Each structure stands twice: as structure tokens, then as C-alpha cells.
Amino acid sequence: MGYWIVAGIYLRTVCDYVHLSPVRARLLRTGQRLIEYPWSSFGWHLAGKEHRPAWMCSEPLFGEHGITRDDAEGRREFERRMEGRRQEPKETGDPMRRGWYLGTKEFKKEMLARMEGRLGASHAGQLRREAAEANAQRLIDSELKRRGWTEGELKDRAKTDPVKVALAARIRRETTVPIRWLATRLHMGTRQTLNAALYLWRKEHEQANSTV
């Protein structure tokens, strides 16, 4: 099913997904409460602490919902919120099957940064590709900031601008992004144009290094 990471507020995202699964699977009739589905931890969260398994702790999940107390009123509020969520418009498709993560774009960006240099052949191809692109984007952002360039300036500069070619060469060394992606992202024309520019750049630098 992919590579999964859950942290912080994403505890709520994943738990809510699981608790609402009987609704998506149509295992509850109209009018039935979520608590009536027996094969779920939802009912345990609505039970008093003394009735839950010793390993179950509901406070973190309640806290992510903004519920500060694990008492009768807090548990009623949790049920009200979840029953309200089942009325929300359904997303197209199943988010747990569409990719390697579940959460916001900010969460995805943070996770890709953490995974830099840690992915191997066993990880999903989509994950490796997105991690490489995120790494390349960080290099681009860093160079733009260092030079005081805007995205517009990057676009307006010549396709074979020396700075852009040097940046492309660095990204090719340090990431696995495809040449086509790099040519598009740096506004350097076609992949053939970029390949030719990189060839000349490497040839020039190899000659310079050989004379040192």
C-alpha cells in the first residue's frame, strides 16, 4: 500500500479515516450511529477510561479534535464531531490508495525533506520520484535566494544562461530527477537543448580541471 508516516495532527487524519470506514463501505444503515459498528475502536474511545483496554489512550486523539478533557462531555463531543464528519462530501477515490501519504501539502513537503537520502529500491517509484523532485526544488530555491532572483527572472534568462546550466549540472549530480523535468523547471527548452548545454559545460570544466 506504500510508505506511510503518521505524526502530529495526522494521528487525527488516519484515525478519522479508520473510524469512518464503515460508512464508506456501507456497513451501516441510514440512521445507525458509528458506535453501532462493532469491529472498530470508535466505541472504545466513547467508553469511560476504566472500560477501555489498558493499552488504549484516547487523550491524544481527543486533543487533535480540540477536546481538552476525556470525560463524559468530551466523549459526547467527539461522537458529535465524527457523526458530523460522515455528512461531509466524499472525496473521489480512496485517499489511502492514491499515494504514499495522507495529509496536507505542508506535511508532504516536511516528510519528503526527512526522507532525503534514505530511500532505496524497495520504496515506491512515486515516492522516490517525488523525493527527488523535492530535493531538486530545494536546490533551486537556495540558488534563487542566494542570487536574489525571482521565479520570473529565472524564466526570463536565456535557456543556456551559464548560471542555469551550472545549477542544472549540480542538480543532475545530487538528484535523480529526469532531464525533461529539469529542462521544464529551469525554463531551459527541450531536454535535447539541456543535454547539449550540459555536455558543453562538463567538457569545459573537465578541461579546466585537467590543466590544474
Q: Would you tell me how many other CB atoms lie within 10 Å of the CB of residue 209?
A: 8
Residues 69/80, Cβ–Cβ less than 8 Å: no
Q: What is the number of alpha carbons within 13 Å of residue 43 lying toward its C-beta?
A: 10
Distance (Å, whole) CA 177 – CA 135? 9
Residues in contact with 98: Cβ distance below 8 Å, sequence separation at least 6, in sequence order: none
**pLDDT computed for residue 193 by the predictor:** 94
Distance (Å, whole) CA 161 – CA 66? 52
Size of the chain, expressed as the number of residues it contains? 212
Q: Domain limits of the chain?
A: 10-85, 105-210
Distance (Å, whole) CA 177 – CA 131? 9
pLDDT (tens digit, 0 to 9) for every residue of the chain, 212 residues total? 333 444 455 788 888 888 999 998 899 988 899 999 999 999 999 999 999 998 898 998 999 888 999 999 999 999 999 999 888 766 544 444 445 555 566 666 666 666 555 555 544 456 678 878 888 998 999 999 999 999 999 999 999 999 999 999 999 998 888 999 999 999 999 999 999 999 999 988 876 665 55
> Which pTM value belongs to this model?
0.49
